[in-house]
Amino acid sequence: MEFSLLAGLPEEARAALLSSARRRSFGRGEVVVHEGDPTDSLHLVRSGRLGVRVTTPGGESAMLNLVVPGDHFGELSLFGGRQGARTATVLALEPAETWSVPAVAFHDVRRRHPEVEAVVVAALARRVEELSGRLLELLFDSLDRRVYRQLARLADVYADGTAATGEVTIPLTQETLAEFVGGTRPSVNKILQRLAEQGTVRLARGRVVVLEPAALRRHVPPT
């Protein structure tokens, strides 16, 4: 498994970080880290897909991101020190495995390999850019368009990196999809029902099957 965060590091630094990692396994629906927990580790995703969820001041949940194999989360913990706290809850959307790198081990490797810091700072910058894009969508895109766009993204993800040209099953509930797009389940269900009537998707218990990914993308304007 190649981890995107480690791709720019020399072999010695990569080996040092991976040698300190602890393998952790999670079942579907299990929480990996809780929002507000101490920031004590970085997680490299070995397998499975995970959702990054935050709680709004009103007590509602919003899904900020989908983390896939080869990706990572918890990079903020590497600079937060012992007083930092997790800014989001991460839960396994399916059986998943991560390699957890303790912050103490990371700081030890960083002292011996200063280039590690630049790589992580660049990763943080990319994360901010991603979140800024999501914020713009929530502010300026209609709910319909947000649903189309998220379904297109998920179709790419669940096609396992290949071009999603055929039928793709997205094993997420409508509640979870609503969290991703900042809508309610009933409002998202109405949009999905229209897509089902058009033959673009098929709705089933706990999943959405995208029948025509190309037709779905026609609803999404270029970015």
pLDDT by residue (tens digit) across 151-177?
Answer: 999 998 998 755 556 789 999 999 999
- Give the H/E segment covering residue 217: helix 213-217
Domain 4-138 has CATH 1.10.486.10: no
Q: What 3-state class would DSSP assign to 215?
A: helix
Alpha carbons 177 and 63: distance in angstroms, whole number: 8
CA angle 115, 121, 123 (to 5 degrees): 110
Q: How confident is the model at residue 82 (pLDDT cuts 50, 70, 90)?
A: very low
Kindly list the domain boundaries of the chain, sorted by start residue: 4-138, 142-217
Q: Where are the beta strands (DSSP E) in the chain?
A: 22-26, 31-33, 41-47, 50-55, 61-67, 72-73, 89-92, 96-102, 168-170, 201-204, 207-210
- pLDDT per position as a tens digit, 110-129: 888 888 888 888 888 888 88
| Identical fold, 4-138 and 142-217 | no
Q: How confident is the model at residue 34 (pLDDT cuts 50, 70, 90)?
A: very high
Cβ contact 43:100 at 8 Å: yes
Instruction: Tell me the CATH number for domain 142-217.
Output: 1.10.10.10
- pLDDT per position as a tens digit, 185-218: 999 999 999 999 999 999 999 999 999 888 887 7
Total-model pTM: 0.85
